[in-house]
Amino acid sequence: MRVAINGMGRIGRLLGRRLIDLRGLELVAVNDIMDTDNLAYLFRYDSVYGTLPSPVLHRDGKFIVGTKEMAVFRQADPSRLPWKDLGVDVVLECSGKFSHGEGVNLHLEAGARKVLLSTTGTSDIPLLIYGFNQHLLTADSLVISPGGCMTNCSTHILYLLNSIGITSAHLNILHSYTSRQELVDAPHKQFRRGRAAAESIIPVEIDLAVSLERLMPPLQGKIAAVSTRVPVANGAMADLTVQMQRPVTAREINSLFSKAAQQEYKGILEYSEEPLVSLDIKGNTHSCLIDGTLTSVVGNHLKLVAWFDNEYGYTSRMIDWLFYWKKFL
């Protein structure tokens, strides 16, 4: 499978780093409007995941990393990218600017066969969560959204809990700061996002509930969600408060998730009873890790905590999608 990346932000660069070492997938091109030498620098040196062992050389319109090479472009208009000439099977659309039907069509017009977003996308784009409803993918699918890191964490949890029965669920995703926040206080249309990210615990608005209700119609009107940004560079913790339809015990809930981690959700969901902190999740490939030590119940009220690496876990699912989609090409 020949893969290209459009948008070399946090997710795009991490995908690029991981794809250069994967058999069966060939990264043939990357595109970003930033200065190419700056991109080469950021590709090699990463403050969260460390330094690539090989330098990223920029020569004759290509990046050379060890024995691998890929074309590199600085094109703002995806329709002008040479996806057809490069024989690109799938474009990973990671810029965040083309997550709607008209935007992704630009990649298809340029000759790409398929487009995989790195975000939820608009309602006209199929929302498919790997490990939950990937079976809905068909050979005719041209573009899909794999959701976001928070959706991938929460979907499996709520689906399993709803096998018992959910009356309502409140989700608070304690999440590392992101590029959509400011380093120092500055104007922002969401005032709180404009506050200095490393200085405060900052609640921000998210559309997680909308995505979850779209995926699980039986939970319509039963979910509320907020994300609280905390002063760390990586990692997240989903704090769920769930009103169950019947009394449950912590032991019952932990058993439910422990079995799922070993069986139908193996590789997607992990279960642990170790005394973890967010740094321990860095580089974890699962969509979520249930912390059994923090499960608690009062009557029908359940408190459940799950950890996830918001970058590494999410890119792991995007890579899963590439291998899954490969079967249809």
6: left (phi over 0), alpha (psi -120 to 50) or beta: beta
Confidence of residue 96 (pLDDT cuts 50, 70, 90): confident
- Report how far apart, in Å, the C-alpha atoms of 293 and of each of 42, 250, 277 are: 38, 9, 12
Q: Among 21, 68, 17, which Cα is nearest to 39's?
A: 17
Strand stretches in 89-246, DSSP E:
90-93, 114-117, 143-144, 166-176, 202-204, 223-230, 236-244
Q: 27: part of which helix (H) or strand (E)?
A: strand 26-31
The superfamily (CATH) of domain 2-118 is NAD(P)-binding Rossmann-like Domain (3.40.50.720)
Q: 38: part of which helix (H) or strand (E)?
A: helix 36-44
Which position among 94, 149, 153, 288 bears the catalytic label?
A: 149
Residue range 158-207, pLDDT digits in tens:
999 999 999 999 999 999 999 999 999 999 999 999 999 999 999 999 99
Q: 72: part of which helix (H) or strand (E)?
A: strand 68-73
Beta strand 62-65 pairing with 56-59: antiparallel
With respect to CATH, is domain 149-309 assigned 3.60.10.10? Answer: no
pLDDT for the residue numbered 36: 97
Confidence of residue 292 (pLDDT cuts 50, 70, 90): very high
pLDDT for the residue numbered 329: 83
Query: Token pair of 39, please?
Result: 């991109």
Confidence of residue 316 (pLDDT cuts 50, 70, 90): very high
- Over residues 71-92, the mean pLDDT reads 97
- Does 94 qualify as catalytic in the annotation? no
For the chain, the structural domain boundaries read: 2-118, 149-309
- Rounded to whole angstroms, how far apart are CA atoms 243 and 303? 9
Mean pLDDT over the full length of the chain: 96
Name the amino acid, one letter, at 256.
L
Residue range 240-281, pLDDT digits in tens:
999 999 999 999 999 999 999 999 999 999 999 999 999 999
